[in-house]
């Protein structure tokens, strides 16, 4: 029976999006057009942005769902070989002999060379586990089509769709028009005119690692305009929303990450910073210049997209879509009235996008689902949580929900730092209320304490304020909900003194608005906190310390004991037990795994 016939007859159709040999490997199970599971391998193998085959994701999927591999009707993957292979060949042979350097593994550290044989790699990996004859058809979806397909779970029936990342299989920036279930790409950039790649390379120049672009975005607010005009020379803005990166400065078109810049870049901006070197005004000003020019380029693109259709809705996807400062400027400085960015805008959402593209674009199915929350990861039962607490030898209490929410709210009002582990894990790179560290927003010392003693990271890094949706306009310059922490609006000046720890140095906050329907327990804590303090805002940061966000109760307990958190709440269980034996065990048994792409 065909997939279309099964769907028409009301029989569940299971599409498994899956990827390997590229950063952020994982999978997404789409059942009759709605996501059921979205899992990231890094949460299980504990290597940030891992390239490894998503073996543990598959194990968790089938253990949790009750399905078997035989229940999967079709596989999709977010790379298309008919586009990727010619692009790869043209790039490697485009500027001989220098472009041969693109063959070096270090030139593309975030992707394995084997990605050019991705369908074969998937067939081999799945066949070894489940039997080669059982592997269903593998549908290849162009990388940017997969990113753009999140339009189909957005709140919009019609929207412009902008995809920006490092690289896809044939471009790095694409513009689409979405109407109903249809998506049409209307323009694209040259492959190496990549805002994502430029941001990554300057991030490394500033002494940070690949995937630490968010740190540079935060640092940018601390800098001044010293290098803005010189940075503008790197990107030429052209008609029709196009742009070109000045090849006089860059060499990532021939050397990738091995040698991304030419001598002119260093002549203009100075030598690169070592990670061990102190941050100076020069580095802060460079970050500011980069962020400013990237924002200007994105606004240039978006203003052209305004002209291409009447809709005032915009969907943004791809890794550059995580630039919440730029997203806020789009809302503030263009004619678009609504901007929606999914929680998995980066490649963590590419397997989902490939499945959505196949379901809607290829099979022609109507839209029936809107994404209103991000909780499609692994969940744990009360019994599993209790077993982990017992194994760790901790004392604890179990509360009814109403009492638990009041207890945690009181703790937060007393400036205690709370590890908060609930329900199914979030997908995507940001903690959105189920694997979070929560704290009071009313005292700046809390922010400094978390950066120094919990996260062990730079003091300038901000935290996300979480606010009850119905009171968000009271504290922030917002005109729409933002449940996925994708905008950084200004805090109203008269509210800054009330929530100083929520403010970055430029007076903005990367907010998350929360509705009761999306996460009743998370909402309930903030609601109870507001009853005590009068403030409907708390701080949220990801539940981790120099590792991927915690996934399991055991990982949460370990992180709790390796940091200076005061309280750990998992499900209905509450503990403050930091006995020396448990703390010693956590610190001695923890093994940090270098992130993928790190040199």
Which class is domain 3-79+110-149+347-362? alpha beta
CATH architecture for residues 195-340: 2-Layer Sandwich (3.30)
Mean pLDDT, residues 306-330 = 95
The answer to whether the CB of 536 falls within 8 A of the CB of 524 is no
Q: Is the pLDDT of residue 189 over 60?
A: yes
Confidence band, pLDDT 50/70/90 cuts, at residue 415: very high
**pLDDT tens-digit series, residues 339-356:** 999 999 999 999 999 999
Q: Is the pLDDT of residue 552 over 50?
A: yes
The answer to whether the CB of 214 falls within 8 A of the CB of 320 is no
**What share of residues in the chain are helix, strand, coil (percent, to 5)?**
40, 15, 40
Same CATH topology for 195-340 and 382-589?
no
Tell me the three state secondary structure of residue 74.
strand
Q: Is the pLDDT of residue 6 over 80?
A: no
Q: What is the pTM of this model?
A: 0.96
Percent pLDDT > 90 in the chain is 93
- Backbone torsion region of residue 116, taken as left when φ is above 0, otherwise alpha when ψ lies between -120 and 50, otherwise beta: alpha
**pLDDT tens-digit series, residues 273-295:** 999 999 999 999 999 999 999 99
For domain 382-589, give the CATH superfamily: Carbamoyltransferase, C-terminal domain (3.90.870.20)
Percent pLDDT > 70 in the chain is 98
Q: Where are the domains of the chain?
A: 3-79+110-149+347-362, 195-340, 382-589
Phi/psi of residue 167, nearest 5 degrees = -145, 150
Q: Are strands 182-188 and 173-179 parallel, antiparallel or unpaired?
A: antiparallel
């Amino acid at each position: 029976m065909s997939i279309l016939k099964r769907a028409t007859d009301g029989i569940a159709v299971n599409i498994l999006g899956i990827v390997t040999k590229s950063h952020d490997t994982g999978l997404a199970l789409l059942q009759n057009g709605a996501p059921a599971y979205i899992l990231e391998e890094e949460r299980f193998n504990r290597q940030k942005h891992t390239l490894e085959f998503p073996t543990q994701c598959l194990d968790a999927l089938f253990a949790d769902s009750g399905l078997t591999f035989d229940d999967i009707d079709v596989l999709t993957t977010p790379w298309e070989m008919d586009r990727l292979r010619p692009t790869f060949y043209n790039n490697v042979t485009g500027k001989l002999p220098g472009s041969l350097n693109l063959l070096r593994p270090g030139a593309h550290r975030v992707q394995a060379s084997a990605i050019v044989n991705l369908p074969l790699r998937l067939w081999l990996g799945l066949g070894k586990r489940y039997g080669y004859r059982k592997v269903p058809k593998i549908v290849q979806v162009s990388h940017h089509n997969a990113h753009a397909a999140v339009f189909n779970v957005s709140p919009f029936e019609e929207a412009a769709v902008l995809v920006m990342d490092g690289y896809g299989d044939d471009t790095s920036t694409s513009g689409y028009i979405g109407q109903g279930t249809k998506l049409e790409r209307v323009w694209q950039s040259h492959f190496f005119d990549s805002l994502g790649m430029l941001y990554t390379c300057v991030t490394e120049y500033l002494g940070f690692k690949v995937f630490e672009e968010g740190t540079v975005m935060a640092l940018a607010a601390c800098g001044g305009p010293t290098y803005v005009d010189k940075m503008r020379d790197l990107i030429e803005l052209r008609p029709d929303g196009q742009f070109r990166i000045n090849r006089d400065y860059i060499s990532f078109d021939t050397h990738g990450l091995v040698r991304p810049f030419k001598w002119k870049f260093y002549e203009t901006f100075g030598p690169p910073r070592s990670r061990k070197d102190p941050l100076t005004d020069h580095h802060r000003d460079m970050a500011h210049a980069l962020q400013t020019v990237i924002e200007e380029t994105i606004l240039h693109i978006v203003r052209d997209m305004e002209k291409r259709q009447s809709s005032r809705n915009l969907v943004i996807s791809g890794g550059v879509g995580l630039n919440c400062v730029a997203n806020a400027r789009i809302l503030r400085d263009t004619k678009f009235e609504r901007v929606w960015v999914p929680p998995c805008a980066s490649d963590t959402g590419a397997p989902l996008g490939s499945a959505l593209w196949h379901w809607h674009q290829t099979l022609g199915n109507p839209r029936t689902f809107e994404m209103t929350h991000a909780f499609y990861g692994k969940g744990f039962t009360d019994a599993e949580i209790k077993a982990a607490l017992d194994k760790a030898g901790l004392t604890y209490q179990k509360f009814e929900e109403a009492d638990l929410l009041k207890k945690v709210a009181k703790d937060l009002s007393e400036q205690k730092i709370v590890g908060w582990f609930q329900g199914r894990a979030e997908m995507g790179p940001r903690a959105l209320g189920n694997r979070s560290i929560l704290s009071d927003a009313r005292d700046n010392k809390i922010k400094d304490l978390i950066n120094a003693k919990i996260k062990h990271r730079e003091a300038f890094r901000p935290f996300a304020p979480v606010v009850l949706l119905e009171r968000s306009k009271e504290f922030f310059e917002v005109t729409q909900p933002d449940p996925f922490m994708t905008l950084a609006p200004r805090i109203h000046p008269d509210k800054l003194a009330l929530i100083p720890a929520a403010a970055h140095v430029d007076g903005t906050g990367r907010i998350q608005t929360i509705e009761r329907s999306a996460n009743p327990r998370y909402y309930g804590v903030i609601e109870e906190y507001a009853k005590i303090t009068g403030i409907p805002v708390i701080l949220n940061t990801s539940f981790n310390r120099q590792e991927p966000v915690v996934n399991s109760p055991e990982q949460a307990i370990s992180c709790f004991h390796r940091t200076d958190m005061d309280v750990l709440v998992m499900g209905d269980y509450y503990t403050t037990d930091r006995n020396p034996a448990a703390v010693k065990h956590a610190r001695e048994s923890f093994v940090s795994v270098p992130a993928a792409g790190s040199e």
